[in-house]
Amino acid sequence: MNIPFRSLLAFFLLLSPALLHAQGSNVAVVVPDGRTETASIPMNTGTAYLFSTLPGHSYSIEQSRGLNQPTLPMNVYAGCPNSYGVQVNDTSSMDPAVNINTGYGQQRQREAFACPGPVFPSMPPGQASVFIFNSSPAPYSFTLTVIDTTLQSAKWRASINSDTFWTFTNSSSAPVNISMNFVDNNGYAEPLPGLPNPGPMSVAPGATLSVDTTQIPQQFRINPPSGPPLGGSVRVTEDGPPGAILATAAIVTNANSPTPTTETVKFEVKH
């Protein structure tokens, strides 16, 4: 199904919940925290499942009917705060694949998208929708899981004598696009020369992409003069399956001295 139809469908879903009810459709709210919701759609009825989206976050949606029970198509509209150019990807066949053909039809469907930055605390959230229409002569029972797949590293630093180094490895079977959103200590986007902010950058299957702060010019590293070094946190979006991108981060200080130090910083899923 093409993107214009999805966008038009989502427009009516988001603006006219009452119209949906009048036409035999329902609206429900899900939370993108990885919980699995059980739902049932009556025959000849459609349901729109809505969830909030944030800039600089990415999401994966999966529906399942259990073993040997084919699913109905789901139509996902990203609904990002800035939705221009956002692509929804069907990741069902990417490792770990969920659409293995057993002769009973597709038993699971999984899609993903990433909301672009920049990140600002005061920006209102968007609203994504997952629409499923049951045209069969029986109720359609299934489960729906929405996951925030954003990776967050709690610390990065760039000063006169320190830099931060990141690596991103694609563990899936198809290219995955990532975007880095650098945030200062107050939660605001921090675009700087030399940083790929926000991206996106494509990582090939099995490949590793490296990014670091060594390209930031020295005059930007301390602001104001003699003040604290640049730093904050970083959010990384991905448009692949959950866990497709493996990320590491390290802060190296006094790299050219006889006693350099390396601080390893964790990446964790943000939800």
pLDDT score for 151: 96
What parts of the chain have a pLDDT lower than 50? 1-24
Sign of CA pseudo-dihedral 29, 31, 32, 37: negative
pLDDT score for 164: 95
Say what the pTM is: 0.87
* Contact (Cβ atoms closer than 8 angstroms) between residue 60 and residue 241: yes
pLDDT score for 226: 63
How distant, in Å, are the alpha carbons of 2, 17, 41, 165, 187 from that of 46? Answer: 19, 12, 7, 47, 39
Tokens (6 digits) for 111: 């899609």
Among all chains, which residue has been given the structure tokens 């830099």?
163
pLDDT score for 102: 66
* Structural domains of the chain sorted by starting position, each given as residue range(s) with its CATH number in brackets: 3-148 (2.60.120), 151-269 (2.60.290.11)
pLDDT score for 25: 66
Question: What are the tens digits of pLDDT across the range 248-259?
Answer: 999 999 888 888
